[in-house]
Amino acid sequence: MLLPCVSGTLENKGVMKSFIATLIERYQSILEHAALSTEEQQETRSRLNSLRLAQGVLEKIELLSSYPQQPLQIGVLGPTQAGKSTLNNLLLGSPTAGVSALAGYTVHAQGFLVGDLRPEHHLDNVLSGMFPGYQQTPVTELDAQNYRQYSLTANQGGESGLQTMMPAAAQKSSRQQQPLVLWDSPDFDSIESGGYRTAVLRVAALSDVIILMLSKDKYADRSVWDMMKLLAPLNKPTVYVINKLNPEDLQTVSDSFRKRYAENISNSATTENNLSIVTLPYIRGLTDNAAELHDSGAQTLFENLSNAITSCDRANAAEAASQLIDQHWQNWLEPVKRELSAQQEWQTRVDLELERALQSYRTSYLDHPQKYDTFNRAIAELLTLLEIPGLAGTLSATRNVVTWPVRKLFGLGQTLINNDSSQAADQDNEKETLIRIQQKVISELQNLTMDNGGGDNTAWWLELNRELRSNGQHLQDSYYNEIDAYQKNFEPEIELAAQSLYKSLEKQPAVLNGLRAARVTTDAAAVVLAVKSGGLAASDLLIAPAMLSVTSMLTEGAVGKYMETVKQRLKEKQYERVENLLQEKLAPTLKQLYSQIEGDGVFGFEATQLADANEAKEKIAGPHRPSGPNGPQRGAML
């Protein structure tokens, strides 16, 4: 997935870079804004460090592909007061790097160019790619308060400089001497290092060879070994320099370091026995150019560094990146997976609550003997079709004006039925049931978010709770509109039920004529008109005294059995429509509510994004190694 210089695809590399960049952004926001325990802060910083290193390594791979002839990069890393700047001056042969007794004196990445630069080296492009968002600034103008700067200075060293003191590297690689850049980096363990840690990791990612500068006081510190563990998967040639030792402690410290390395670092390319360790004695009054070290281990340092350069193999960059990402992948994704699990729990609970709501609709409305009134409306339509004497005249006069279940004209119905209704004129049992079950769903989901607000994903659940509450009115209004649309669209089904009953009566002329001959008072006409105009609840139709004679005839014999069949069909169609209303309208809105969360403690990834990243990760570069005059080659040249 990672787009290395040696293989892979632009698409996969883009997916992984984007995914890691988003992870960095989320972790940074959590670190800055979320209420974390000390342990959680340490874990978050650790994840950020490995993510930023991986991000830099991916950039390095891309730049190797674009600029294969870029100069060799040597990075000097180390904790406070280890002597990094002094070592740089020793290698450069001049007091170029600033030296101070103050911890954290160096807060910027400072590069020193050794050798002649040519256009094909594209160094400016390489550095702008490795330090995005940073400004290249002259070393004399670096602002200690602005960590987004770095410098590049041409070394002015003489015969004792790095270039002239290491001819063996060029000979071993069988290549013409090439320019190189030596990097002095900020301390990675000082109190303020959080502000410039990214620069340290960028130097580590950029470097083809690393010099880890330690001291007698710091070589056993946890911060040192954490950094070594972080860099180990990259398998970069590394020289370990332990500085400021008493002469009698040189071998003891070296042996102790080797042993601890074997116990703590897993690295297939480097073992306890082939570690490149250089020990340097403490020299009081050491000058800035460290000339006094030439007689006390400097030659050993240059030999080890020469060997490290010779063993540099840029073609391994993709494989090393893969190892780094593999090592940290599960740790990076641990909180993301917890959040995705919470998303799944949310969606499952939404499904459960909507299933309960659907069952409540059936029991509270469809199967409720007093509240189910839809079929009564079908009977009202049937009476219209029958054109019963005394009823036809009234209905024909209003048929083109009133279409049920219009609620605007309920006043007319109220007048016609002489205030005999026992229920509110505008009552809609079905709508009331649908509103009530939706309110129940929202209430149960709010309880879920609050109950989970104290667990592993506290921030996510609390943000979801806020989102649910803030969208409450919108959810209600939208749902009410969907109810109205459903009921309007269901009117033809009620009319079809009435027509089906009428066609059944046509097959039984005696019953049909009996109904038509029944003495129906004007009160009955008023009842039907009241139902159709909204002045009388449809549930009152069958119990209205004026209608009892008609409805009793409809429910007798074969007609009654067919009526029950039509009624059940109508119920099932309503059930299906309401199921669609809940599953196709309400469910998607509720299920995706978490996608709107933008809290500081929330990652906000979708499962599909994680799946894409996992797929890209599996396509990381394989064993293919490029060849040819322009491809990265072993012995990255001095």
Distance CA 136, CA 279 (A): 34
Give ∠ CA 136-139-145 in degrees, rounded to 5.
80
Q: Is the pLDDT of residue 407 over 50?
A: no
Helix (H, G, I), strand (E, B) or coil at 633: coil
Distance CA 405, CA 543 (A): 19
The tens digit of pLDDT for each residue in 503-554 reads: 888 887 777 777 666 544 434 555 555 555 555 555 555 545 545 556 666 7
Distance of CA 633 to the CA centre of its chain: 38
Q: Which of 92, 86, 125, 316 is nearest to 214 (CA)?
A: 86
- Radius of gyration for the alpha carbons in the chain, expressed in angstroms and rounded: 40
Q: Residue 418: which pLDDT band, with cuts at 50, 70 and 90?
A: very low
Once rounded to an integer, what is the mean pLDDT over residues 265-272? Answer: 69
The tens digit of pLDDT for each residue in 193-215 reads: 566 789 999 999 999 999 999 98
Domain spans of the chain, in order of start: 72-312, 335-614
Q: Kind of pairing, strands 238-245 and 209-215?
A: parallel
Question: Count of CB atoms within 10 A of residue 82's CB?
Answer: 26
Distance CA 296, CA 243 (A): 11
Token pair listed for 404:
């049920």
Token pair listed for 175:
């290549």
Q: Which fold has domain 72-312?
A: Rossmann fold (3.40.50)
Q: Which pairs from 127-133 meet CB under 8 Å and 24+ separation?
A: 127/152, 129/59, 129/62, 129/63, 130/56, 130/59, 130/60, 130/63, 130/202, 130/205, 130/206, 131/199, 131/202, 132/59
Distance CA 459, CA 471 (A): 18
Q: Is the pLDDT of residue 452 over 60?
A: yes
**Worst-scoring range by mean pLDDT, 261-265, 378-382, 488-492?**
378-382
Give the best-scoring range by mean pLDDT among 142-151, 182-191, 402-411: 142-151
**Worst-scoring range by mean pLDDT, 281-295, 540-554, 572-586?**
540-554
Once rounded to an integer, what is the mean pLDDT over residues 25-35? Answer: 88
